[in-house]
Structure formats: C-alpha cells, structure tokens
Amino acid sequence: MVDLGSGDGRIVLAAHRCGLRPAVGYELNPWLVGLARLLAWRAGCARSICYRREDFWKVSLRDCYNVSVFLAPSVLPMLEKKLQAELPAGARVVSGRFPLPTWQPVTVVGEGLDRVWAYDIHGGLAGEAVSS
C-alpha cells in the first residue's frame, strides 16, 4: 500500500493497522515525514511502516496494488496519467476529498469532506479499462 503525498502519515498507519503490508508513504515535506515517523513510533509500528521523503512523481508504481491519494484537484489530471501508465491490473486507487477527474469510481463512500472514491484497474494497464 502506498500513500502519495502522505502528510502526517495517518493513512499509512491506518492501512498498516488493517493489515495492508507493506505500508509506505511518500512525502516531500521533511517536517511531515518526521511527524509521521514519530506517530508510527508512538503507535509501536515504526519498524513495519516506511515513510520516504521522495517525490512520488519519480517513484515507479508498477508493483503497487493499493494506492491512496489526498491531493489538490489541480494535480489529479496529471496523476491519472501516471497511474494509467504504471499501475498493474488488479490495483485499487482510493482518492480522498476530490475524485479523479475522468475515471469512473467503483464505489463512493462518505459525505462532504469525508467522501472517498475507489477505482479498480482492469485489463493490462489502467488506461485500457477503468471500471465504471
């Protein structure tokens, strides 16, 4: 499981607690990476969760089957292209607060600020068929 733009790491920590392994967060802000690592340590999960101070645009997602994003709407069109190019069949993408602009979700959960959209990748790469 990877969280792109993981912020304080709460999504990665929750995913780990739900059994998703490995759980990795990518975040550029060094203060947020430090906070995430501290929170993981306080939760007793520091050795089994990884927070990386890396640009997720430069990270390959070819082996990722669970991807979480909580990003500004302005970057989501570019993110769709990256996900389409890299994710394997069977992957799931969950977007919080804002939906991916052109993909059709398989499910929508929550209301208002707590709404999330889930997308499944079918076929070869996501660009071949995003579930409707």
Mean pLDDT by 10 residues, the chain (132 residues): 96 95 96 97 94 96 96 96 95 96 96 95 54 40
DSSP 114: G
DSSP 47: T
Q: Which pLDDT belongs to residue 123? A: 61
Q: Which pLDDT belongs to residue 129? A: 39
Q: Which pLDDT belongs to residue 122? A: 84
Domains along the sequence of the chain with CATH? 2-130 (3.40.50.150)
Distance between CA atoms of residues 31 and 124, nearest Å = 38
Three-state DSSP class for 3?
Answer: strand
At residue 109, what are phi and psi to the nearest 5 degrees? -125, 140
